[in-house]
Structure 1
Amino acid sequence: MGYYVNVDQGVNLYVEDINPGGSKTIVFLHGWPLSHKQFEYQFNVLPSFGYRCIGIDWRGFGNSDKPFHGYTLDRLADDIRNVIDVLQLNNFILAGHSTGGAIAIRYMARHNSYGVSNLVLIDAAAPVGFANKDHANQMLNQALNDRPKLMREITETFFFQYITNPYSDWFFQLGLQAAGWSTAAIVVMLRDENVYDDLPKISVPTLIVHGIHDNVIPFSQAQEVNQKIRNSQLVPFQNSGHGSFWEERDKFNQLLNQFIR
């Protein structure tokens, strides 16, 4: 079922809540510029393992409200905390993909891992998002002047494995659900912010999943994250780019189930 949670004055986030009676809860944070729908192939399977799966659309993306302000790691992490408080979640697994991984890391550091038993980082944009500032500025210019072209190029570089034209079109449309201003603001955030200081503050068991062919966030960054988070394990996905949650979805779902059960 889907519903809205108020996280700030005039800002409501959309929450997709699947199998509310599940024995354990997994909270999914999507990547930029997507929505909770990117995890369709987790939501199809994991509830059958007994899990409650919650997908949260950040402010500015998917079905959530799209205010003009509030696109910093601190604010986005605080939004997640507000959802956790309203839903009264405890002992849950927090899983973040790409920029959602950076938000998850900031949540862990800023809110002292509140309620989280396990952390899962999926092709996370960490310790930095866009290390190449010139490339980030080019993306920012595209976001402000030809956002559909930007989204098409993101789709073309996202995956290592072949995707069909219908899947490509679907993925493309997920990105276009976002507001133009929020799409651009996250590029600025990924260019100017990082989570270096957050990583040593994480102590819960952490699973790091990263495609070795990732052209968005290099695999070497996952190795660095693995070194800086104690009690973490890195699992390379040999046949994935930036979309390991889909490209090797059966392996990913089984690995996640083994990690948290």
Structure 2
Amino acid sequence: MGYYVTVELGVKLYVEDINPEGSKTIVFLHGWPLNNKQFEYQFDVLPAMGYRCIGIDWRGFGKSDKPMSGYNYNRLADDIRTVVDVLQLDNFTLVGHSTGGAIAIRYMSRYNGYGVSKLVLADAAAPIGFTKETANNFLKETLNDRPKMMQDVTDGFFFQYITKPFSDWFFLLGLQAAGWSTAAIIITLRDEKLYADLQKILVSTLIVHGVHDKVIPFAQAQELNQKIKNSQLVPFHYSGHGPFWEERDKFNQLLRQFIG
């Protein structure tokens, strides 16, 4: 079922809550500039295996409200904490993909991993996000021709072949965001760093990363693995930036094994 959670006066986040009666809870944080529907191929499988899957659209993206402000890691992590409190979540696995991984890292640091028993970072945009050159190019396109920017994102996202219908669907996910929030996150990815946060992550952490990732280099996953205690890195050899789709069977099985 889907519902809204108020995280700030006048700001509600859309939450997709699948199998609320599940015995173990997984909270999914999507990547930029997408929304929780990117995890469709996890939501198709994991709830049927007894997991409660919660997908959160960050502010500015998907079906959530789109205020003009609040697009830094602290505020985005605060939003997640509010959802956790309102839903009274505890002992859950937090899964963050790309920028969602960066938000997850800030949540772990800012709130001492409140409620989180295990952490999964999938092609996380950390400890840095975009280079200045990449960010400035994306920013220029976003402010002048956002559909072209989203097409460029789609074209560079996957290593494996995607069909035209799938490409069209993925493209439209990104356009559900507001232009201003899309641009604001680019600036956050350019300017904010997460080095100081990594040492504060104490829970068991699974790092998965496509070795062919053109968005966030595989070397960054190796750096995360070195700096996060009690972490393990699993390379996805047939994936770019989207192992949750490109090697979805392996991704889902690994999640199940890791969560237990």
Specify the TM-score bucket, using the shorter chain as the normaliser.
over 0.9
Q: Does 1:153 align with 2:126?
A: no
- Distance, in Å, in 1 between the alignment partners of 2:228 and 2:27 is 20
- Distance, in Å, in 2 between the alignment partners of 1:201 and 1:166 is 42
**Amino acid across the alignment from 1:169:** D
Distance apart, 1:194 and its partner CA:
1.2
**Amino acid across the alignment from 2:233:** L
**Superposed CA offset, 1:95-149 (max 9, x none):** 000000000000000000000000000000011001x212211111111111000
**Amino acid across the alignment from 1:209:** V
Corresponding residue number in structure 2 for 1:39: 39
Corresponding residue number in structure 2 for 1:188: 187
Q: State the TM-score, normalizing by the size of structure 2.
A: 1.00
Corresponding residue number in structure 2 for 1:92: 92
- Distance, in Å, in 1 between the alignment partners of 2:65 and 2:134 is 28
Distance apart, 1:48 and its partner CA:
1.6
**Deviation above 3 Å: which 4+ runs of structure 1?**
none
SS at structure 2 position matched to 1:118: strand
- Distance, in Å, in 1 between the alignment partners of 2:125 and 2:27 is 18
**Amino acid across the alignment from 1:145:** N
| Number of residues of Structure 1 aligned to a counterpart in Structure 2 | 260
Corresponding residue number in structure 2 for 1:238: 237
Corresponding residue number in structure 1 for 2:115: 115
SS at structure 2 position matched to 1:197: helix
- Distance, in Å, in 1 between the alignment partners of 2:33 and 2:48 is 28
Distance apart, 1:253 and its partner CA:
0.2
**Amino acid across the alignment from 1:84:** V
**Superposed CA offset, 1:165-192 (max 9, x none):** 0000000000000000000000000000
Distance apart, 1:67 and its partner CA:
0.2
**Amino acid across the alignment from 1:129:** G
Q: How does 1:1-261 map to 2 (within 5 A)?
A: 1-130=1-130, 132-261=131-260
**Amino acid across the alignment from 1:3:** Y
**Superposed CA offset, 1:48-71 (max 9, x none):** 221000000000000000000000
- Distance, in Å, in 2 between the alignment partners of 1:142 and 1:114 is 37
- Distance, in Å, in 2 between the alignment partners of 1:165 and 1:175 is 16
Distance apart, 1:35 and its partner CA:
0.3
Q: State the TM-score, normalizing by the size of structure 1.
A: 0.99
SS at structure 2 position matched to 1:214: coil
- Give 5+ residue unaligned stretches, structure 1: none
Task: Quote the RMSD (CA, aligned, Å).
Answer: 0.4
Distance apart, 1:193 and its partner CA:
0.2
- Give 5+ residue unaligned stretches, structure 2: none
**Amino acid across the alignment from 1:63:** K
**Amino acid across the alignment from 1:237:** F
- Distance, in Å, in 2 between the alignment partners of 1:183 and 1:135 is 14
**Amino acid across the alignment from 2:7:** V
**Amino acid across the alignment from 1:120:** V
**Superposed CA offset, 1:60-90 (max 9, x none):** 0000000000000000000000000000000
